[in-house]
Chains A and B, each alone.
Chain A
Amino acid sequence: MRVLHTSDWQLGMTRHYLAGEAQARFSEARLEAVTRLGELAAAEGCVCVVVAGDVFETSHPDARTVARTLERLARFTVPVYLLPGNHDPLDPGSIWRSPIFQDRCPTHVEVLDGPEARTPVEGLEIVGAPWPSKQPLGDLTAEACEAAPADGARRLVVGHGGVAEVSGGFEAAGTIELSRLRRAVSDGRVRYVALGDRHSATRVDDDGHVWYSGAPEPTDYDEVDPGTALVVDLGPAVPEVTRHEVGTWRFHLLRHAVDTDEDLDRLEALLDALDEPSRAIVKLGLEGTLDLRQVARLDALLEERALRFGALEHPQRHRDIAVRATDDDVATLELTGYAAVARDALHARATAGGHDGEVATDALSLLLRLAGHEEAT
């Protein structure tokens, strides 16, 4: 008996570094992932799909986001259970209670909005631990597990939140205590705990009763191996969990030292080696010092790539990389007369440093560009 375990769809998510059409494609890809999950559930013979929280990015998503999501879910061939998580908790004003959702929600899609168990098929109980607000008072998942009878039934608890043993602390609201889940499992109250919140697929306990499914599409640079869903076979005593890759976008955080032309060559090669640039979101963590000419080259190569990548976050001049107007830069500017005087004055200011030095450096950089333009014409 298989169940498709997924979570953290975070539909309606916006990223500032995604401009215009990239944001549209990113959003569309996330909806496509939902469709792929439905197909995966059907292909794998799952009896239902559980979404362990954060279906939406916020508890007040746009009506279009809701409508498009429900339209995709309507095409699922098995029951779907949606759990309100910390992003989209079940407060009275939330989307779950609004007519926008309720009026369109297909009959095979249910919100796990209370303690009562659902039975998609005979011999399988689904119990949800929904978030009632962004600041829950206790460990909702453990409480749901402990509330279930110790009858050894094939029971799946759907929960959401960080696990202290994984995230390393209880600071955040709604943190889950793994020992309580283990006890519930060993007491025969729960067979499998389907967790959401962590965007990387993770087995939480040693025996394999507690899992994070990971997000079907990545959402940020710091995620390890996102873009997954789990097919959980609840037949055996210990569930058999299979990971499936469903993501199409990738976040890349590239850390690179740039001090020489060779470094820039390597950076260029590194960028060009990335797969599927149109679905790559790239952030450059550059360190080093460049002269004006090198900065101009860096700017040019990044500008060109920015057109091809899904997103390319530029390093900020002066803040991320030091820019230095060198004697060579000045020598390149073969100016005479007053232009040479102006150039040398700016160079002196640039060398003096401070904010004025940065501005003077930028001015020299601009002068280099304008003078270069002169050479080209």
Chain B
Amino acid sequence: MRIRRLALEHVRGLESAEVHFAERGVTVIEAPNETGKTTLFDALDVVLNEKHGTTKQHVRALQPHGRDVASTIEAELTLGPHHLTIRKRFHRDRLTELVVHAPTARQLSGTDAHDELRRLLEEHTDLALLEALRFRQGRSLDPVALAGSRSLARQLDASAGGPGDPHDDALYERIVETYTRYFTERSGKETKLLTDADAAVERSEAEVARLEALEAKLTEAGRRASEVAVQRRRLAARRDELAPELAARRDAARRVARLRGECDAARAELRRAEAERDSAARAVVEREELAQEVADAAAAQAEAEAELTRAEDALAPLAASLAALDGRVATARDEAVRAREQHERARAIADLVRAREELARALASRRRVDLAIEEARAAEAVLASSAYTEERHRRVRTAAEDVRLAEAQLGAAAPQMIVRARRDVEVDAGDGPEALAAGAELERRVPDRRRVRIGDLAEVEVVAGTSLEDRQQAVRAAREELVSACADLDVEDADGAEVLAEEIRGHRETIAARDAILARELDGGTRDALETTIRGLQDRDAALCERLDIDAGDAVDPEAPPDPEALESAESKAREVVASLEAERRARSEELESLRERVIAARTSRDGARVQHDRRSTRLEQARTEVDDAALAAEVLRAEEAVGAAEQDVARCDQALRELDAETVDALVQTAESQLEHAREQLAGLQEEAASLAAVIEVHGGEGIGEALQAAEAELTRRRGERDGLRRRAEAARTLKEAFDRARDEAYAAYRAPLRERIVAAGRMVFGDDLDIELDEELAITSRTLQGITLDFEQLSAGAREQLAILTALAAADLAGEDGVPLVLDDTLGYTDPGRLERLGAVLGRLRGPQVVVLTCVAMRFEAIPGATVVRLPPAPVA
């Protein structure tokens, strides 16, 4: 449905109003509050839904207050392929007119007109969606309810690959109902129906097992009872046979016992006789041993006496030898002392010689040092007083050079004078007479004037012309400079300057030589240190002289210098002699001590041997007084005879026992006794068992166990069958439900996707690029995710909920396409901040397909919508 035009007359506060709507895109209807914006769409509701004759309160409320006038509502609509105008008048002069303009023009009135309008609406308009997309003032902030929209469902189904009606769930509900007989709906746990069936089977199994065990027990008891009866009869017979046999065997045993008593007595007699014989033999042995001991003691005494004599004889020579050794030790010690003294003196002399050599070296060194210092000091004094500097020296040299240059230049320019001799003649050209042979020539330059005397012939003066004036002047100036420079250097001339420079260089070398000598002689130390060393050596010299008992400065005998190494060796040899003699003396002394101890021990030993011998002799004599040796020997003979007699008695008895086969007799009695005992025990056991078997048979025999077992087995078979059938049905129900759940979930997911995608696409323009939402099965938003944070719809702010609701409605309107209905926003977005509002406006402006009507009292709110048609309602007339 699309609204083309609405015209109202006398409706509430509106006297007359007509609004044309854009069929696609946004129409903004702007009017101040209380001027009838809402009235427009209330009137549309009424003209579409109500007959003109109705008396419903909300229709009556359309009549302007306090005026009995007719209210006329006219709406021009597009319904599917139809273009029509419906006009209704209420309250007075009621009428209904329907004019269909296209596809086929026709006109109806009255009830026919209303019914036809309703038919066309039902056929071409999704009334549920119309309601859902109508945002009235003060609408709740719940998610938009789109679940009831047929056109949307159709579009979504088409997107999801429909057709189908996922909301027709009667079949699914029956499947769930069947499933929940067997399983709980949420957790899928088995219900009591299944667990009871299992429990029943288990109970039956337990009962069968119990009865089987009982039956087996009873059967076994019967079988065993028969066996026991047979065994008891057999055992009783055996017991009766055994009694007389046992009596006979016991008689025989008693005879054996008597004979054993006799045997035991004979053995006791034998043991007594053997003891007596052993005692007599022992007495003889003891007497012989005692006699031997006496003899041993006498021998020991003699040996001790001999030892004592030997020891005492050795004492005297040993003592003498020790005394001689003492003398030798004393002599050797004196020798050793002397050798040490000689050795020490020799060492001291060597030290003194070495010290004096060092002192001489040190003194020489000091002399060289002092000389070098003195010479250097003189050179330094000369240097200090001299006018010589390198600069002055250079000036003299330069000046001398300049003089030579100037003179040379003058010479070169000067006229040449040649004297040619016609005969031998002496010529003096100003530089001394010179013999000139005939024909020879003498050449000279004349820089200024030259007087030449030729022998005694003539004197010629040659004078240079004025052209040489400058050069002569230059020569004079150079000479003056040379004189000044020489004066400065305090020398006569240039050669004197060179001599002075040579002297200065000599002094400098002297100073440099001093440093080298100091470095060499002092070896990095100072002169003071050298001085200290010298004093130390002088002190050492004095000390050594004192030790050698000579005057300081006296020379030691250089002819026979003592050899300390040889003297050291002599000392050590003397010491070794002393040590060797002392060791020998100690050994001797110990030997003597030991010998003395030996004498004492020999004496003690001899005294002990005497006592021992005396004591033993006394004891032997006493024993012989009591019983003499012969009597002892006789007693031994008698006792041996008694033993022989007793042995014969024992042998006789043993023979008699062997003849009676005593061992077998006893064993036979034992066998018979144990057999009888065994038979009695078995009988008692069997009797007991028979009684307990009888008890078992009595207790369970009458319980009808066999029949009960068969009944229990039948019950178990039945219950297993029931359980298996139940499980099979449960499995079928679960399989069916799972298949439906899976298909349903997939269908819903596919079905929701296009709507969700559109909401998200539009919503990202408002909320940002990371927006995401979830839709539930009713196509309502359940949660929003922004910047990674997911909130339930109810947790969102009022503004966000409002914006999401409008975005949902926009998406739905967009998705519904040609089947769609107008989205009407009546004074909404009150919760929305200007920033979001602007972006929402942009979203609205992008929609080209659906018809959107925005009713607002604040035009600014929606001025951002591009391409919107804006209609301003006239202000309300004064009532």
Say whether A339 contacts B740, CB under 8 Å.
yes
Q: Please list 10 pairs of residues, one from A and one from B, whose beta carbons are closer than 8 Å in the complex, sorted by A's number.
A: A12-B704, A18-B714, A60-B215, A60-B705, A93-B219, A337-B157, A337-B163, A340-B164, A341-B743, A341-B746
Identify which of A56, A97, A367 gathers the most chain B CB atoms within 10 Å of its CB: A367
**Size bracket, chain B contacts:** 35 or more
Q: Which residues of A contact B711 (CB under 8 A)?
A: 14
At the interface, yes or no: B709 with Cβ under 8 Å from chain A?
yes
A241 in contact (CB, < 8 A): no
Stretch at the interface among A203-211, A255-263, A358-366: A358-366
A338 touches B171 (CB 8 A): no
Q: Verify B743–A342 contact, CB threshold 8 A.
A: yes
In the complex, the chain A residue whose C-beta lies closest to that of B735 is: A363
- Chain B residues whose C-beta falls within 8 Å of the C-beta of A14 in the assembled complex: 707, 710-711, 713-714
Docked-complex contact B164 and A337, CB < 8 angstroms = yes
Binds A, one of B43-51, B119-127, B221-229, B477-485: B221-229
- Whether A62 touches B165, Cβ cut-off 8 Å, given contacts A92-B226, A337-B747, is no
Return the chain A residue nearest B720 by Cβ. A16
Residue of B nearest to A65 (CB): B707
Among B235-243, B726-734, B767-775, B859-867, the stretch that binds chain A is: B726-734
Q: Which of A318-336 contact B (CB under 8 A)?
A: 335-336
Does A65 contact B704, Cβ atoms closer than 8 Å?
Answer: yes
45-68 of chain A: CB within 8 A of chain B = 56-66
Q: Is the CB of A366 within 8 A of B736?
A: yes
A156→B617 CA distance, assembly (Å) = 124
Q: Which residues between 780 and 800 of chain B lie within 8 Å of chain A, taking CB atoms? A: none
A337 touches B162 (CB 8 A): yes
Q: Name the distance in Å between A51's Cβ and chain B's nearest Cβ.
A: 18
A370-B731 contact, Cβ under 8 Å, with A93-B218, A342-B742:
no
Tell me if A94 and B222 are in contact (CB < 8 A): yes
The answer to whether residues A60 and B718 also contact, given A337-B164, A338-B746 and a CB cut-off of 8 A, is no
Does residue A126 face the partner (Cβ distance < 8 Å to B)? no
Tell me which of B157, B697, B716, B728 contacts A93 (CB under 8 A): B697
Cβ-closest chain B residue relative to A369? B178
**CB 8 Å contact bits of B497-518 with A (1 = contact, 0 = none):** 0000000000000000000000
Which B191-242 residues have a C-beta within 8 angstroms of A?
215, 218-219, 221-223, 225-226
Interface centre among A14, A65, A342, A346, by most chain B C-beta atoms within 10 angstroms, is A342
CA distance A100 to B713 in the complex (A): 24
> At the interface, yes or no: A123 with Cβ under 8 Å from chain B?
no
Distance in Å: Cβ of B150 to nearest Cβ of chain A: 15
| Inter-chain contact A61/B707, CB cutoff 8 Å | yes
Give chain B nearest CB distance to A24 CB in angstroms.
12
A367 — nearest CB in chain B belongs to which residue? B736
Known: A14-B714, A93-B219. 16 other contacts (CB 8 A): A16-B714, A16-B718, A17-B718, A57-B710, A58-B706, A60-B707, A61-B706, A63-B704, A94-B222, A100-B702, A337-B166, A338-B740, A339-B172, A362-B728, A363-B735, A374-B174
A137 at the interface (CB under 8 A from B): no
A75 at the interface (CB under 8 A from B): no
C-alpha gap A315/B78 in the complex (Å): 66
- Asked if B619 is at the interface (CB within 8 A of a chain A CB), the reply is no
Main secondary structure of the interface of B (DSSP, over half): helix
Contact between chains at A345 and B215 (CB < 8 Å): no
Most B CB atoms within 10 A — which of A58, A62, A92, A367?
A92
Whether A16 pairs with B701 at a CB distance below 8 angstroms is: no
**B705 (CB) vs chain A CBs: closest residue:** A60
Known interface pairs A58-B709, A337-B157, A362-B728; A15-B702 also in contact (CB < 8 Å):
no
Contact residues in B for A337 (Cβ distance below 8 Å): 157, 162-166, 747
Q: A346, B701: Cβ atoms under 8 Å?
A: no
Contacts A63-B702, A336-B163 hold; do A342 and B740 have CB atoms under 8 A apart?
A: yes
Q: Tell yes or no: B717 within 8 A of A by CB.
A: yes
Interfacial chain B residues near A13, Cβ < 8 Å = 710
Contact A93 B733 (CB under 8 A): no
Least distance between B829 CB and chain A CB atoms (Å) = 37
Chain B minimum-CB-distance residue to A360: B735
- Bound: A296/B469 CA distance, A: 165
In angstroms, Cα B729 to Cα A346, docked, is 15
Which residues does chain A contribute within 8 Å of B706, judged by CB atoms?
12, 56-61
Residues 735 to 777 of chain B near chain A (Cβ within 8 Å): 735-736, 739-740, 742-744, 746-748
In the assembled complex, B715 has its CB within 8 A of some CB on chain A:
yes
A365 and B222 CA atoms in complex are apart in Å by 55
Q: Does any Cβ of A come within 8 Å of B290's Cβ?
A: no
Cβ–Cβ < 8 Å partners of A99 in chain B: 702
Over the window 248-278 of chain A, the binary record of Cβ atoms lying under 8 Å from chain B Cβ atoms (1 yes, 0 no) is 0000000000000000000000000000000
What's the minimum C-beta distance from B733 to chain A, rounded to whole angstroms? 6
Nearest-CB residue, chain A, relative to B703: A60
Q: Is the interface of A mostly helix, strand, loop or mixed?
A: helix
Among all A-B residue pairs, the 6 with the closest Cβ atoms: A337-B164, A58-B706, A62-B704, A93-B222, A362-B732, A60-B706
B158-178 to A contact mask, C-beta < 8 Å, 1/0: 000011111000111011001
Cα(A95)–Cα(B708), bound, Å: 14
CB closest residue in chain B, given A64: B704
- In whole Å, how far is A61's beta carbon from the nearest beta carbon of chain B? 4
In the complex with contacts A337-B163, A337-B166, A370-B178, A12-B707 CB distance below 8 A: yes
Q: Residue A153 at the B interface, CB < 8 A?
A: no
How many angstroms between the C-alpha atoms of A364 and B736 in the bound complex?
7
Determine the chain B residues whose CB is within 8 A of the CB of A100 once the complex forms: 701-702
Distance between Cα atoms of A134 and B706 in the complex (Å) = 13
Q: Which residue of A lies closest to B172 (CB)?
A: A339
- A19 CB–B CB distance under 8 Å: yes
Interface residue from B174, B693, B701, B735 paired with A362 (Cβ < 8 Å): B735
A-chain residues with CB within 8 Å of residue B747 when the two chains form the complex: 337-338, 341
Q: Is A91 an interface residue (CB 8 A)?
A: yes
CA distance A366 to B175 in the complex (A): 9
With both chains docked as a complex, state the minimum distance between the C-beta of B732 and any C-beta of chain A, in angstroms.
3
Give the distance to chain A from B443, nearest Cβ to Cβ, in Å: 148
The distance from the CB of B103 to the nearest CB of chain A, in whole angstroms, is 32
Contact B703 A345 (CB under 8 A): no
**In the bound complex, CA of A61 to CA of B36 (Å):** 98
Residues from chain A with a CB closer than 8 A to the CB of B733 are 363, 366
Contact yes or no, B704 A346, CB < 8 A? no
A297 CB–B CB distance under 8 Å: no
Question: Are A62's CB and B219's CB within 8 A?
Answer: no
A367 lies within 8 A of B165 (CB) = no
Q: Mark A85-106, 1 if CB is under 8 A from B, else 0.
A: 0000001111101111000000
What is the minimal beta-carbon distance from B721 to any residue of chain A, in angstroms?
Answer: 8
Instruction: Decide yes or no whether A35 CB sits under 8 A from chain B.
Output: no
User: Is A366 within 8 A of B178, CB to CB?
Assistant: yes
Q: Could you tell me if A338 and B701 are in contact, using CB atoms closer than 8 angstroms?
A: no
Q: How far is the CA of A18 from the CA of B721 in the complex (A)?
A: 13
Verify A58–B225 contact, CB threshold 8 A: no
Give chain B residues whose Cβ lies under 8 Å from the Cβ of A61. Answer: 704, 706-707
Q: Is the beta-carbon distance between B175 and A367 smaller than 8 angstroms?
A: yes
Q: Are A58 and B175 in contact (CB under 8 A)?
A: no
A289 beta carbon closer than 8 Å to chain B: no
Provide the B690-701 mask, 1 if CB < 8 A to any CB of A, else 0: 000100110011
| A28 shortest CB reach to chain B, Å | 15
- The chain A residue sitting closest to B722, CB to CB, is A19
- Residue from B163, B164, B732 within 8 A of A365 (CB atoms): B732
